Structure 1
């Protein structure tokens, strides 16, 4: 059963889609565009320390969002939506560092539960799932939905479970299926957004490119003391 905090995170995601003028149920054409251009938050996608997924770092009156660019693209999208969730849900102004386990749902922390629920609803709104399948979704149905929304098969299956739209028998069939073979047989393609087209790390939002902050993230300039602490806790030495 959803908790108070997961319900709150999902509600904030629905409010965010409405406030940002996004279709309430359609796939996001590019999450990175939404975060940078519609919400107005700068993003860094870089090689983070082992075990880290991302972070939400205070930056004056706004936030700087970090994503581990060595993770699969579908996980990067979820992490970016999770970090956006911390901002949109109004979580306190301290630096939030998220581990891979946290964004995988292995957490009982209220703020993290809210951010995970925000990300799930923001990426695959419940309204888009209700009534989509005439019966139990097959493994092929789940993977097709994942390709359409740019999410992983596992996360998409979990989303259907969250919404009470898949039975235990169908879940077992999904887990037993050969997802790689099904992906090829169905001719499914990777999600064609800007995250998928990033060829070199670190990626910095265009607004950061010619700034001292951007130079500090790339290691070309010294960061102020507060940012230096954040970068030391996040970036792998080779970034």
Structure 2
């Protein structure tokens, strides 16, 4: 089941890139703009409860994506891509709350496996990895350069190397040990790398709401300017810190 769901999620991600007019292989400099403008989905970036990465709230054909704004940028980008995956794959469920463990692969849920695969393929396409990794023995510097260029974590690159069969088992183990020691952060600084110019990184005040949500009851409730109705209050209680 997991292989089928993984393939399904990755296929939907490739479809999404094509449908949204995005480069099928290149990095996505601003994922937030791609979601808000190209996909037409509103986003809330807020202080979410401990352990909550994000959520996709569905109301009929509409979807609202939530992201924990307290996480570091690559995690926020992966979370947003994961929630986009739920919406794009039209997964059922009024409010699907995703924990950090879920996004780290600790799940057997078909929908979550699909959304994780969607996020990985949407942010770091197979075709891009196959172009960038040609000898099967990528070093830590190469992993960090790919991570910075595509706006993902070193662990996501490591996962893609393993999942796509682009590095041997010994190399994967060595890279995993180096990342566990924090050597990837040293490499990032030494190589003077910068991540993508994603608007997610420029959000200084939480909560952030997409322009499409301006003037809505949700905006007023999140800013403490109005009381939430029962349904909204229930959702906020599950999500917010």
Q: What TM-score, normalized by structure 1, do the two folds share? A: 0.94
Deviation, 1:95, is: 1.1
Deviation, 1:2, is: 6.1
Q: Distance in 1 between matches of 2:131 and 2:28?
A: 20
Moved more, 43-52 or 188-197: 188-197
SS at match of 1:64: strand
Instruction: Pick one of 197, 213, 224 that aligns with 1:208.
Output: 213
Match of 1:168 in 2: 169
Contact 1:55/1:97 (8 A) holds in 2: yes
Moved more, 93-102 or 6-15: 93-102
Alignment CA distance shift 1:113-1:92 (3 Å)? same
Deviation, 1:211, is: 2.0
Structure 2 runs not aligned, ≥5 long: none
Match of 1:189 in 2: 194
Paired residues, number: 236
* 1:37-71 deviation per Cα after TM superposition (whole angstroms, max 9, x unaligned): 11111100000111100011124531111011111
Contact 2:46/2:68 (8 A) holds in 1: yes
Q: Distance in 2 between matches of 1:63 and 1:228?
A: 17
Contact 1:139/1:173 (8 A) holds in 2: no
Over the aligned positions, Cα root-mean-square deviation in angstroms equals 1.4
Structure 1 runs not aligned, ≥5 long: none
Q: Distance in 2 between matches of 1:133 and 1:115?
A: 25
Contact 2:29/2:196 (8 A) holds in 1: no
Contact 1:138/1:173 (8 A) holds in 2: no
Match of 1:150 in 2: 151
Q: Distance in 2 between matches of 1:66 and 1:133?
A: 33
Q: Distance in 2 between matches of 1:53 and 1:109?
A: 16
Contact 2:28/2:123 (8 A) holds in 1: yes
SS at match of 1:97: strand
Alignment CA distance shift 1:134-1:159 (3 Å)? closer
Deviation, 1:210, is: 2.3
Contact 2:31/2:77 (8 A) holds in 1: yes
Instruction: Pick one of 227, 230, 236 that aligns with 2:235.
Output: 230
SS at match of 1:131: helix
Q: Distance in 1 between matches of 2:224 and 2:51?
A: 21
Q: Distance in 1 between matches of 2:2 and 2:163?
A: 8
Moved more, 26-35 or 172-181: 172-181
Moved more, 35-44 or 204-213: 204-213
SS at match of 1:55: strand
Q: Distance in 2 between matches of 1:54 and 1:35?
A: 15
Deviation, 1:133, is: 2.5
Match of 2:88 in 1: 88
Moved over 3 A (4+): none
Q: What TM-score, normalized by structure 2, do the two folds share? A: 0.94
